[in-house]
Structure 1
Amino acid sequence: MKIRKHYLTLRRSFPHVQEETPMEITIEELAAYLECTHRNMVLVLKRMQQESWLTWLPKKGRSNRSTLIFHVRKEDMLMEEAKELVAKQDLHSALDLLQASEHSASLREFQDWLSGQFGFRSELQGQHRTDVLRFPLTQAIHDLDPAAIHYSGESHLVNQLFDSLVRMDAKGEQILPHLAHAWDVDDSRTLWTFYLRKGVSFHHGREMTASDVKYSLERLQRLAPRGLYSWAYANIVEIEAPNETTLRIQLAERNELFLGFLTTNRASIVPADIVEKSGGLMHKSPVGTGPFRLTGQDQGIWILEAFPAYFQGRGFLDRVEVWTLPEKEHTELSDTRQPFQVMHNVRISDMDAERWQQVRQSGMTTKFLTVNELKEGALRNPLMREALHVALNRCILLEQLSGDVIEAANSFFPQSQQDRDDQQQAGLLEVGKLEAMLHAAGYQGETIKLATIPQYEKDALILQKMYAEAGIHLDIMLIPAEEFKGEQRMTADLLLFAIMLDEHRELRLYDMYKSMRQHASSEIQLLIDDSLRKLRFEADAQHRKALLEQLESQLKQRHSLLFLYRKHLKTAFHPSIRGISLDSLGWVRFRDIWFT
């Protein structure tokens, strides 16, 4: 409220005056601080005195000095102002207010209070009970159009708002019916026919038809010709909708990964009429067929309400409020905070762990380095690439990134602990060769440019320091995530990135190798092309895994691919929650949750 801001302005104007300490000042001097008239200043002081924030003892005469006594600390007033902003669902302004105040104690106190606002609660309005879950998300939401999302938090919300033709089980082993109740493929395995469920409604009330599915896939081809999994839908040459519940998709050639692509939220089905009315985009006004529909978003709080007509049945929760908080590496709980019921990407103390159930997701994030072998420079030399590998001390890296969710990685596929121990020991034994290897490679101390995204700057700085101690000089270039696949990264010698390996592991690795091909030597381009062609034509899942492992091994042998570490995430939830259902990256499916 405005009067509270006026008080804060006055209180900040006299930082050396303690509460309950009288000071002499004139109305004119105070009016100057608030940039208002004498009359308005009198009214402001009267209002503040009514709130018991201060005492004003005026003396007659415009030039006489009166007595002012502050009663309320500015830190307390900041907290009240921040809480009121939250009550108005203006979370970002509340955080900005406290961060701008430069009072870290106030910010910590607010965060403690805020943690108590999360979780499950029932709101009674007459005889009607509304069950609400406030869910914290330490990411910003930029876009909720399935064709344009970039970040995992956005992907999570898209999963609540949209559906695809088919879905993948959490282990990534079986493709199940969803919007399509059945499908078949011809002998050439290029013509796919899907049979849609009847009576599936979009959030705006219209029934979904095959023409919407056709529109969604063709729109994806138009909007994101180079987007995630674009190699899968670029292969579509014709889509037909002979009737409202039948869809035929003709591929240019066989692709055994195509059905898996249709399980992803990138292939979400959107309503043609709503999208066209909005100019072809749905950035922050998405409409799908999912179990929740977006009913509001403002200042960092996204409101999802249960969709009563959801084709798989209405969920228990009536409303989910997703509060996007400032991005952090992870969320910490301490005994002084009131924990909320569901927390994603969290580490919990041993004491708290006794009161919480934890799930370590089957999915993971793996970070790695790849070499731009198209650029002239030191890394064209295989001896220099091997020296980078030898200088990469994963033990030190893990110490800098300590935590029970961090482990060494030497593959995109999980390996035994003994394998990891052997790999780390081998790396330690080779360190003594480094100086000779750099000499043999002809390295003269020239700078090697490392490109990554801003979210991975911490990793890049650790590598920079580690390599500097080995005599190798790195220069870091940060590129926004949405631009990382563009031309700017081609000016770098080395690329630091990560891949999320979830139930869509094959698709993600295929996409990554397609990206890696852009900066590979001609020899490696041929190797990648041949491997990916075999992958598309291979019907057996185990054989496809073997092909991916073989390609990975060949790239590791020539040190074109250097693994850093693997990060598992944990989801924690209170025992009062029932129906917890997680995807492989640990995101909670809101529709499945209910509370006791």
Structure 2
Amino acid sequence: MKIRRHYFILRESYPQSTDGLPFEVTTAELAEKLDCTHRNMVLLLKRMIQEGWIEWIAKRGRGNRSLLTFAKPLDSLMLEEAEELAVRGDLQSALELLQPRGAAVVGRFQQWLSGQFGFQTVLEGERRTDTLRFPMPGTIDSLDPARIHYIGESHLVNQLFDGLVRMDVRGVTVLPHLAHAWETNEARTEWTFFLRKGIFFHHGREMTSSDVKYTLTRLARLAPNGLYSWVYNGIEQMDTPDDLTIRFRLKARNEAFLSFLSTNRASIVPEELCEQVGEAFGQASGAVVGTGPFRLAGSSHGIWILEAFSSYFQERPFLDRVEVWTMPAGADRKEEDMEELRQFQVMHNVRIEGMAGGEWEQVRQSGTTCKFLTVNELKDGPLANAAFRSVLDYAIHRKELLRRLSGDVIEEASSFWSRPAADDSQSVDDADFQHTCSAMLRECGYDGEPLTLTTIPQYEHDAALIQEMLGKAGIHVHIHLIAAEQFKGKDRMSADLLLFAIMLDEHRELRLIDLYKSMMQHMDKRTSDILGDTLQCILAEPDAARRFSLFMKIEDELIRRQFLMFLYRKHLKTAFHPSVQGITLESLGWVRFRDLWFR
């Protein structure tokens, strides 16, 4: 309420005063602090007295000063205000109000907030409405499949949109979805998909093959250099013989084409609505319309409300409503705080220690995040020297890195595939480490020239750890952060080192091809040409085992040349309360909301 805001201003105007101890002040001085009239100030004082926030002893007469006592701690009142803002759905304003008060106050608010999440049932007569209020770290910039960048956005797109086909969770078999069947020619350059009848978009129109054609054309127009662009830019022609048939002709054979169609990047969008709203498609203020099991009912102050789509072509979700509360920066939760986690019922990307009595169950997600460094070979400098690369690789103390990151979900990585990490005999407290590095640097002629390590803001902590380790070894590093959208472009080409991460899930082959094509931008021409030829062989190879051998050939060569330096792999977990039924994991181990039910 507005009266609280007046109290906040008044209390912060006297930071030296102590709660419970009176101090002298005049009504005129207080009115000046609140920029109001004397009469309004008197009314405000009466209201604050009624609320029990202050004590006021008025003294009349010229030169006499009244006594004011602040009886209500400012933090407590701010917490009440933040709770009211959160209940009204304005989580962002609540956090902005509290963050200047420090971590302790924000922590108390988060503890209260945790109790607002979870599963709720409301009965109105015989009508039962089931709602899941779900926390999600980060913010949502867009839910347009052509424009998504982050995991949270990707997860919501999976709930709202569908593709022609879908991948099983093991990443082995492509299954029918919006298309019930497909066929290809002997050269595997022509693919024909047959759509199901009676599939409707959330706004009520039936989906046709024209929407499929439009979706891929629009994707190439909006994201010509986006994720998997080498797949959709390889489509030479699309034909729609009728409303339920779409035929693709590819420029060249591409064994990744079918897998690409199972990604949410290829989610089908409605042609006429996208043309009508333009850039606003996918925005909270525009339109978000797909064919998925949930429809977007609204969004405000970072809360995205999904409702079950009753006309969904597969089984209707049990949940009637899902509220996704995005948690802005500064609202990160402590993984080890069990009291806080108890209320969530479903939590993603967490690690819960010391679980007992079957109170919580955990699922290790199939997807992992792998982080690594790569070298910009197009830039002159110390890294052009193979001996210096060896020193730098040695100076990144993997065991110390794992210790600093900590956790049962972190492990050393030596590959994008499943093979054990190389044995590292280095000890975290090796007294000879710095001396050894110094000697190696002298041998390779390093004279202290600083290196630029470029990455995105989300990986700043990892970059800082690498900077610290290399600094101890005598290698000077400057960190350069650029936005994720710019990282694939020319802005990163001034770097000596690049810190990358890749999600390894059921679309591993697609993601690795995309990564290697990106790496070719800062690779020497000879290696780039060889890599390009090998990737073409992979795309033309129908046998999965042979493709794997080719991938390993690429990886081994990049490791041998120390162009690629692995750091670690992170396994994420989904924790859920036993009351939650129907846990089915999708890409990156996220729960599919449509499968959840509660007993």
Q: TM-score, normalised by structure 2?
A: 0.95
Do the aligned residues in 2 keep the contact of 1:26 with 1:63 (CA within 8 Å)?
Answer: no
After superposing the two structures, state which structure 1 stretch, 580-589 or 18-27, moved more.
Answer: 18-27
Residue 79 of structure 1 is matched in structure 2 by 79
Task: Report whether the alignment pairs 1:94 with 2:81.
Answer: no
After superposition, where does 1:88-487 map in structure 2 within 5 Å? 88-100=88-100, 102-284=101-283, 285-327=287-329, 331-337=334-340, 338-351=342-355, 354-415=358-419, 419-420=420-421, 422-425=422-425, 434-435=437-438, 437-487=440-490
Name the CA shift for 1:392/1:353 in 2 (closer, same or farther; >3 Å): farther
String of CA shifts for 1:319-353, please: whole Å, max 9, x gaps: 11111113477741424434310001112120468
Residue 69 of structure 1: CA displacement? 3.3
What is the rounded CA distance, in whole Å, between the counterparts of 1:545 and 1:435 in structure 2?
39
Match of residue 496 from structure 2: 493
Q: Which residue of 1 aligns with 2:598?
A: 595
> 1:433: how far off?
6.4
1:318 deviates by 1.0
**Contact 2:338–2:352 (CA<8 Å) still a contact in 1?**
no
- Whether the 8 Å contact between 1:26 and 1:62 is mirrored in structure 2 is no
Distance, in Å, in 1 between the alignment partners of 2:135 and 2:567 is 29
Over 3 Å counting, the alpha-carbon distance change for 1:147 and 1:371 in structure 2 is: same
5+ residue gaps in structure 1?
A: none
When residues 44 and 142 of structure 1 are mapped into structure 2, their CA distance, relative to the original with a 3 A threshold, is same
Q: Secondary structure at the match of 1:363?
A: strand
Structure 1 position 52, deviation (Å) = 2.7
Shift of 1:54: 2.6
Does the 8 Å contact 2:56/2:67 carry over to 1?
Answer: yes
Distance 1:398 1:566 in 2: 10
CA distance in 1, matches of 2:111, 2:137: 15
Q: 1:158: how far off?
A: 0.7
- State the SS of the aligned residue for 2:116: coil
Partner of 2:17: 17
SS of the aligned residue for 2:589 comes to: coil
Cα separation, 2, equivalents of 1:472 and 1:26? 62
Report the secondary structure of 1:424's partner residue: coil
> CA separation of 1:444/1:87 partners in 2, compared to 1, >3 Å: closer, same or farther?
same
Alpha-carbon deviation of 1:63? 6.8
Offset of residue 127 of structure 1 = 4.1
Say which is worse superposed, 428-437 or 300-309, in terms of deviation: 428-437
- TM superposition shift of 1:61: 5.8
3-state DSSP class of the match of 1:189?
coil
The whole-number CA distance in structure 2 between the counterparts of 1:35 and 1:324 is 36
Matched, 1:532 2:535: yes
Q: How many Å separate the matches in 1 of 2:103 and 2:186?
A: 66
Structure 1 match to 2:507: 504
Determine the C-alpha separation between the residues in 1 that align with 2:199 and 2:425. Answer: 56
Pair 1:26–1:268, CA change in 2 (3 A):
same
In the TM superposition, residue 373 of structure 1 has moved relative to its aligned partner by 0.4
Conserved? CA contact 1:341–1:574, under 8 Å: yes
Q: Report the counterpart of residue 7 of structure 2 in structure 1.
A: 7
- Aligned counterparts of 1:230 and 1:11: Cα–Cα separation in 2: 56
Q: 1:116 to 1:329 in 2, by over 3 A?
A: closer
Structure 2 residue runs of 5 or longer lacking an equivalent are none
Alpha-carbon offset, residue 435 of structure 1? 4.6
Using the TM superposition, give the Cα deviation of residue 363 of structure 1 relative to its aligned residue in structure 2, in angstroms.
1.0
The DSSP-based 3-state class of the residue aligned with 2:188 is coil
Shift of 1:516: 0.2
Deviations 1:94-151 (A, max 9, x none): 0110002x24322111111011111111123454322111111111111111101111
Kindly state the Cα deviation for residue 402 of structure 1 after the two structures are TM-superposed: 0.6
Q: Map Cα deviations across residues 231-281 of structure 1 (whole Å, 9 max, x no partner).
A: 000000111111110000111111010000000000010001111111255
Q: Tell me whether 254-263 or 542-551 shows the greater mean CA deviation.
A: 542-551
1:389-429: per-residue Cα shift (whole Å, max 9, x none)?
222221111111111100000000122xxx32x43238999
Q: Amino acid of the residue matched to residue 202 of structure 2?
A: H
- Partner Cα separation in structure 1 for residue 183 and residue 14 of structure 2: 76
Structure 1: how far apart are the matches of 2:185 and 2:103?
64
Instruction: Evaluate the alpha carbon distance shift between residue 469 and residue 19 of structure 1 in structure 2; reply closer, same or farther with a 3 A threshold.
Output: closer
Q: Is 1:569 the counterpart of 2:572 in the alignment?
A: yes
Which amino acid counterpart does residue 110 of structure 1 have in structure 2?
Answer: F
Q: Deviations over 1:346-376 (max 9, x none)?
A: 1212046841000111210000011110111
Seen in structure 2, the aligned counterparts of structure 1 residues 256 and 426 have a Cα distance that, compared at 3 Å, is farther
Structure 2 Cα separation of the partners of residues 436 and 41 of structure 1: 73
Q: Taking structure 1 as reference, are residues 331 and 546 closer, same or farther at Cα in structure 2, changes over 3 Å only?
A: farther
Percent identity over paired residues: 57
1 CA distance for matches of 2:356 and 2:379? Answer: 51
Residues 19-49 of structure 1: per-residue CA shift (max 9 Å, x gap): 4434443221111111111121122222223
- The Cα shift of 1:383 comes to 1.8
Tell me how far apart the structure 1 counterparts of residues 592 and 336 of structure 2 sit (CA, whole Å).
23
Q: Once structures 1 and 2 are overlaid, which stretch shifts more, 57-66 or 502-511?
A: 57-66
1:49 and 2:49 equivalent?
yes
Contact 2:437 2:474 in 1 (8 A): no
Do 1:75 and 1:103's aligned partners in 2 also have CA atoms closer than 8 Å?
Answer: no
Equivalents in 2 of 1:353, 1:359: separation in Å? 17
Q: CA deviation at 1:524?
A: 1.1
CA contact (8 A) 2:163 2:266 kept: yes
